A = this chain, B = another copy of it.
Amino acid sequence: MYLRAFSILKNEDQAYISSSKLAERLHLNPPQIRKDLSYFGAFGTRGIGYPVASTAEQIRGILKLDVAQKAVLVGAGRLGTAIAEYPGFKMFGFEIAAVFDNNQSKIGTKVGKNIVEDIAEISTIRQRDIHLAILAVPADAAQSVVDMFVGCHIKGILNLSPCYVVVPKWVKVVTIDIAMELGILPYYI
């Protein structure tokens, strides 16, 4: 979140930003921002604020987003293709480097800049220096694909299916359950 904010400020040619000004933008409290940033070092200069460009690069380095990150996408359905062509990954330096599906009618077609490959060939990503995966398959197929990932040196998984998946402790999973996020809204109405 802070990386996004500092990147936008950089595009606006702001040289410095204070915690109070940044707090307004992000709808946070100034002390919260200072505490968060101070966990990873002292980026700011007292009396002035945080230097936008260098802080952005510092955060980018901490998140390991300073090197281009390749990701594999499994599932070339509607959600998968939408993800593959989503322009927002660029800001964080992500590149969809391969797309897989199990549907024969989709294999060989083009999604974004990638040709859809057969899921049976998933093990070839081991030679392609890919350690991130995006999972956009139906819930009942999620665990079996995750098991394939684990055998292919994948270390981080963005799971877009509404289910828990079991992984070894060296694999990090982030799950986005869109229906659940929508499901909490009526409660507040």
Contact = CB atoms under 8 A, between A and B. Distances in A.
Contacts of A64: 186-187, 189
Contact of A180 (B4, B134, B162, B180): B4
A111 B82 CA distance: 15
A26 interface: yes
A157 to B, nearest CB: 8
Interface stretch (A12-20, A30-38, A46-54, A89-97): A89-97
Interface of A: 1, 3-4, 25-27, 62-65, 69, 71, 77-79, 81-83, 85-86, 88-89, 91-92, 94, 131-132, 134, 155-158, 162, 164, 172, 174, 176-189
B162 A185 contact: no
A89 B65 CA distance: 33
B65 A179 contact: no
B86 A155 contact: no
A188 B155 CA distance: 8
